[in-house]
């Protein structure tokens, strides 16, 4: 039969086991909510590109490893306005206290983007890639509402060479399927102003059967929707230091609801530190630098608090961001309340 850890990993990826969710999890989503919500497509006044890697449960054999590339931009190349998508003067702090007090909402505009994610856990690997679109509606002089959609394709594969069998004719692998492609759709909504945001999204909207064999005893796996609800607010401690508390609720069918509580302390949108708590899972420490108007680098370390802490040395996550076509010389790496 399959080794215990292999069977465990397959069940985690292909069923609604109480032990894991089907999509990768991130610690630094609070600085790139676009990964979870397509409604953020084109929210910036530049092309926002991020490349990241996450090594989860370091020290645990065959633990999940995730890499991603995301990029999104607006379709209104000639728009200029005085709000967080631009700057009053080139090089100014884009979200200073005085600037947010004079905030005006963005004109209605369109945004598009691309997302590519690879995730590998033991012998199972997954690739998700697709395109996003969002429309940003101007609700008032200070508020916007955007709605977005993601459409793509997922490839889920099983590497038989990585599986050790005691019985070479194990029925669990009879008529085995090496890989499978599934269509994928996600939906989202995002409400935002100068200092606050609130959003909701759902991934894996289309129900799909997930199985690596046609055997009736082992083909009951399926994909299930992943729901996200998040909100945050920016508080100024003084003219140079701000605090951004935020919260996220995550729900996957057949799993308990997960709650994240986050806090970021920011100095002039140039350097920041932060912390996060994920219920029944981990504490996280985060830090980041913004290098002028082109690059930003962030890092997070998760301290595992679940039962895996006996075999795990924690999780590492690093993200490198690029800001292209940055006409206003925006210094910070994205909206500072994210």
* Least confident range of 174-178, 255-259, 278-282: 174-178
Among the four given CATH numbers 3.90.1150.10, 2.40.160.40, 3.30.1320.10, 1.10.3720.10, the one describing domain 4-324 = 2.40.160.40
Q: What is the DSSP letter of 67?
A: E
Which pLDDT value is given to residue 228? 97
Whole-model pTM? 0.85
Residue 80 has pLDDT above 70, yes or no: no
332: which residues sit within 8 A by CB, 6+ positions away? 93, 94, 95, 269, 270, 290, 296
CA distances from 156 to 14, 67, 108, 225 (A): 10, 15, 38, 16
Distance CA 56, CA 161 (A): 23
Domain boundaries of the chain, sorted by first residue: 4-324
- Name the band, by pLDDT with cuts 50, 70 and 90, for residue 84: very low
Residue 154 has pLDDT above 90, yes or no: yes
Mean pLDDT of 48-61: 87
Summarised one tens digit per residue, pLDDT across range 106-148 is 889 999 999 999 999 888 899 999 999 999 999 988 899 999 9
Residue 204 has pLDDT above 70, yes or no: yes
Summarised one tens digit per residue, pLDDT across range 161-170 is 677 766 666 6
* Least confident range of 48-57, 279-288, 324-333: 324-333
Residue 83 has pLDDT above 80, yes or no: no
Higher-confidence residue of 116 and 99: namely: 116
Which residues, listed in sequence order, are joined to residue 165 by a DSSP beta bridge? Answer: 2
136: which residues sit within 8 A by CB, 6+ positions away? 42, 43, 106, 108, 109, 110, 111, 144, 145, 146
Whether 283 and 315 have beta carbons less than 8 Å apart is answered as no
- Name the band, by pLDDT with cuts 50, 70 and 90, for residue 239: confident
Buried b / exposed e along 7-34 (16+ C-beta atoms within 10 A): ebbbebbbbbbeebbbbbbbbbbbbbbb
């Amino acid at each position: 039969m399959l080794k215990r850890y292999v069977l465990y990993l397959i069940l985690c990826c292909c069923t609604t086991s109480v032990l894991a969710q089907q999509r990768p999890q991130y610690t630094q989503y609070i600085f790139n909510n676009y990964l979870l919500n397509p409604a953020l497509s084109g929210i910036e006044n530049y092309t926002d590109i991020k490349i990241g890697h996450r090594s989860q449960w370091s020290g645990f054999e065959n633990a999940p490893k995730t890499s991603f590339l995301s990029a999104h931009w607006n379709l209104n190349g000639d728009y200029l306005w005085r709000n967080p998508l631009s700057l009053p003067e080139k090089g100014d702090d884009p979200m200073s206290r005085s600037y947010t007090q004079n905030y005006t909402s963005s004109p209605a505009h369109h945004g598009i983007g691309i997302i590519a994610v690879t995730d590998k856990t033991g012998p199972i690997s997954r690739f998700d890639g697709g395109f996003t679109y969002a429309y940003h509606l101007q609700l008032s002089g200070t508020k916007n509402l955007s709605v977005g959609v993601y459409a793509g394709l997922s490839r889920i594969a099983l590497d038989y060479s990585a599986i050790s069998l005691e019985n070479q004719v194990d029925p669990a692998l009879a008529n085995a399927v090496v890989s499978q492609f599934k269509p994928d759709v996600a939906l989202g909504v995002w409400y935002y102003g100068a200092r606050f945001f609130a959003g909701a999204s759902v991934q894996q909207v289309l129900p799909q059967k997930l199985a690596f064999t046609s055997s009736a005893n082992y083909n009951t796996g399926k994909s299930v929707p992943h729901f996200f609800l998040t909100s945050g607010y920016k508080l100024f401690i003084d003219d140079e230091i701000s605090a951004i508390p935020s919260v996220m609720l995550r729900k996957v069918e057949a799993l308990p609801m997960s709650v994240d509580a986050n806090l970021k302390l920011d100095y002039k949108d140039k350097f920041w530190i932060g912390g996060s708590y994920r219920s029944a899972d981990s504490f996280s420490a985060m830090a980041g630098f913004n290098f002028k108007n082109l690059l930003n680098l962030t890092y997070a370390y998760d301290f595992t608090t679940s039962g895996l802490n006996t075999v795990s040395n924690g999780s590492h996550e690093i993200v490198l961001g690029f800001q292209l076509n940055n006409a206003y010389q925006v210094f910070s790496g994205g909206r500072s309340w994210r």
